Amino acid sequence: MRDLLKRLDIESTNPGGFCGAWLGSGERLDSVSPIDGKTVASVTQVTVEEYQRIVARTQEAFLAWRSVPAPVRGETVRRLGNALRERKDDLGALVTWEMGKIRAEGQGEVQEMIDICDFAVGLSRQLYGLTIASERPGHRMFEQWHPLGVVGIISAFNFPVAVWSWNAALAAVCGDACLWKPSSQTPLCAIACTKIAERVCRTCGVDPAIFSLVIGRGGTVGEQLIRDRRIPLVSATGSCAVGRHVGAVVGERLGRTILELGGNNAIIVTPEADLNLAVRAILFGAVGTAGQRCTSTRRIIVQDSVRDELVNRLTAAYKQVAIGNPLEPGTLMGPLIDTAAVETMMAALDTLKREGGEVLCGGQRLEGSKHAGGCYVTPCIASARNEFRIVQEETFAPILYIIGYKTLDEAIALHNAVPQGLSSAIFTRNLLEAERFLSACGSDCGIANVNIGTSGAEIGGAFGGEKETGGGRESGSDSWKAYMRRQTNTINYSTELPLAQGIRFGD
């Protein structure tokens, strides 16, 4: 561990603010690993006064960065991607230590950062506007996109580095500066990434304050950020409750938001499904990251004729899941993030039983020498009804609800009958069922898949959801437009002054 931290330039105690210089004189924050309950390192959080200094400095960096040609901005992001490649193993290991993901998932998260940098480099030469036919003779009309300003990024513990990169890489090539407020549960990952970005910027002769950082309490520094009129866009990842607050506060000042909130993701399994394929997808979707992904599979809506067979196969698969230290080879599920998450899972199962549900397997705390100090549980399969209150909520834990159906129309209705709308899937070899699910009358989610699970989105597609998931989109496609301001321009190259809509004035 000491060698890992040294390679990532992490000290035993680290300042939690950056804007070209490192600062932080506030309360001490310990980063405690969910693997063994021990402190990895500590952070001195920023004060409100230091936050103000950081924002002012970030705004100053933006004013210079916006004038740099977009392809040149892309070169900085290209070098950032290469620097992340060089530190992939170390950063992935830090994600595992601080968040609890197994090694493969920690490495995969860093690969997402690399991929989005590559995507953004290409995008830096494709920030296209449009030429529009004017109704007035002798006029040319077009639109163009300009840098927006300072982008506030609020990330959650479950993806401690990737979410920053989804926003920061795109925002940087768009000419924006970024101010990152990471989760207080994973501050070291943020410091490590910021130090890598700092070195890249200095090598490129770029003001490193375009990648600024504030680590502090949500009730102080977080509130300052979302209320700050110098920050025209806030991209926030978190629970629906957090999103409602962020959306309301930023909306009150007429700022913009990208909200990536909770999911209650379901997979419909029809009699036409390849059950071997479905079981593998469900297992990863429900158990991967210990059920702590916004795209984790929460509900299985299965046709009654194949329900028993599917449950039997899933139960057998769950019993083979190796649970333990995520640093060890062969581990498939690590710990929950903290003891509060374990308590939340146990409370959810108690509620399920009171509402009439039944635990079919799993759902226990794991203790003993092998799991000492950590936050380990067994993944749970439960029989439930879609209308149960606990099923309508997102419990950030490996709980999988089994819900039966008779007709495909009923299955789609059950699928859509939750407040959230992030990711969804159907397993079927029937073309009509697949197309029905993807139609306007099918899934109401931002992501809808056929014969793959709900988890594991690629950076090339815009990521986000509908309803209480927030409606925001990050990463690929044309999501870059959220980080820029659109401007419509008209040039009159005639000697006349015709008005639009054929209006004649003063003749």
Catalytically active residues are 260, 294
Q: Find the radius of gyration of the CA atoms of the chain.
A: 24
How would you label 408-446 residue by residue, b for 16+ Cβ within 10 Å and e otherwise? Answer: beebbebbbebebbbbbbbbbeeeebbebbeeeebbbbb
Query: Which residues, in sequence order, are CB contacts of 203 under 8 Å at separation 6+?
Result: 79
Number of CB atoms found within 10 A of residue 280's CB = 15
Rounded-to-10 torsion of CA 218, 223, 225, 226:
120
User: Max alpha carbon distance in the chain (Å)?
Assistant: 92
How would you label 187-207 residue by residue, b for 16+ Cβ within 10 Å and e otherwise? Answer: bbbbbbbbbbbbebbeebebb
Structure tokens at 111: 């690969």
Amino acid at 233: L
DSSP H or E segment with residue 233: strand 233-237
Cα(first)–Cα(last) distance of the chain, in Å?
A: 82
Distance from C-alpha of 394 to C-alpha of 31, rounded to nearest angstrom: 25
Distance from C-alpha of 433 to C-alpha of 409, rounded to nearest angstrom: 10
Contact 293, 284 (CB under 8 A): no
Instruction: Give percent helix, percent strand, percent coil of the chain, each to the nearest 5.
Output: 40, 20, 35
Helix or strand or coil: residue 506? coil
H helix count then E strand count, the chain:
15, 26
Distance from C-alpha of 464 to C-alpha of 260, rounded to nearest angstrom: 6
Query: Which residues, in sequence order, are CB contacts of 407 under 8 Å at separation 6+?
Result: none
Residue 132, φ and ψ in degrees, nearest 5: -120, 135
CA quadruple 117, 122, 124, 126: dihedral positive or negative?
negative
Residue 363, φ and ψ in degrees, nearest 5: 90, 25
Distance from C-alpha of 141 to C-alpha of 467, rounded to nearest angstrom: 36
